[in-house]
Amino acid sequence: MLKISRRTGGFAASELWRSTMPRGANGPTIYRDGFLYGFAGAQLVCLDAATGEARWRERTGEGTLVGLGPHLLFLSQTSGDLRLVRASPDAFTELQRTRVLTPDVRAVTGPSVAAGRVYVRNLKEIAAFAISGEG
């Protein structure tokens, strides 16, 4: 993690901490309220953004993430499942899991959210779902 400071004539960066988690190869790392959520291989992890300390790790399989309010939407790379997870440093809490795409077809693009819908795709298909309810 780097700290970027404005300096006369430009910017300067200094290292705050270093970790091998999360790895951005599986999608973006999501920042929420002082914590980072992302993938380290087949594990979804939560790190304290100030220290790099792991708060929890959950073996979920590889996937991609997008933030949705106080939640994370997690699309599995291989199962076709879309999972709603609470973005909390206290524990991994899965709120819902739904099969939305054909299993065993690779999904490498994260879910997209726009105009009250969630869009997901894999290498063969794309689907849209209306977002409803509070949670």
Per-residue pLDDT of 103-115, as tens digits, reads 999 998 889 999 9
Q: What pLDDT is stored for residue 1 in this prediction?
A: 61
Q: What pLDDT is stored for residue 59 in this prediction?
A: 94
DSSP secondary structure string for all residues of the chain: -EEEEEETTEEEEEE----S-S-GGGSPPEEETTEEEEEETTEEEEEETTT--EEEEEE--SEEEEEETTEEEEEESSS-EEEEEE--SS--EEEEEEE-S-TTS---SPPEEETTEEEEE-SS-EEEEE--S--
Q: Which domains does the chain have, with CATH numbers?
A: 2-130 (2.40.128.630)
Q: What pLDDT is stored for residue 135 in this prediction?
A: 46
Q: What pLDDT is stored for residue 4 in this prediction?
A: 74
CA 8 → CA 4, 5, 11, 67, 135, distances in Å? 13, 10, 8, 35, 46
Instruction: Answer whether residue 21 shows pLDDT above 70.
Output: no
Per-residue pLDDT of 41-97, as tens digits, reads 889 999 999 999 999 999 999 999 999 989 999 999 999 999 999 999 999 999 999
Confidence of residue 133 (pLDDT cuts 50, 70, 90): low
Q: What pLDDT is stored for residue 128 in this prediction?
A: 95
Instruction: Answer whether residue 127 shows pLDDT above 50.
Output: yes
Query: Sign of the CA dihedral 18, 22, 26, 31?
Result: negative
Instruction: Answer whether residue 15 shows pLDDT above 50.
Output: yes
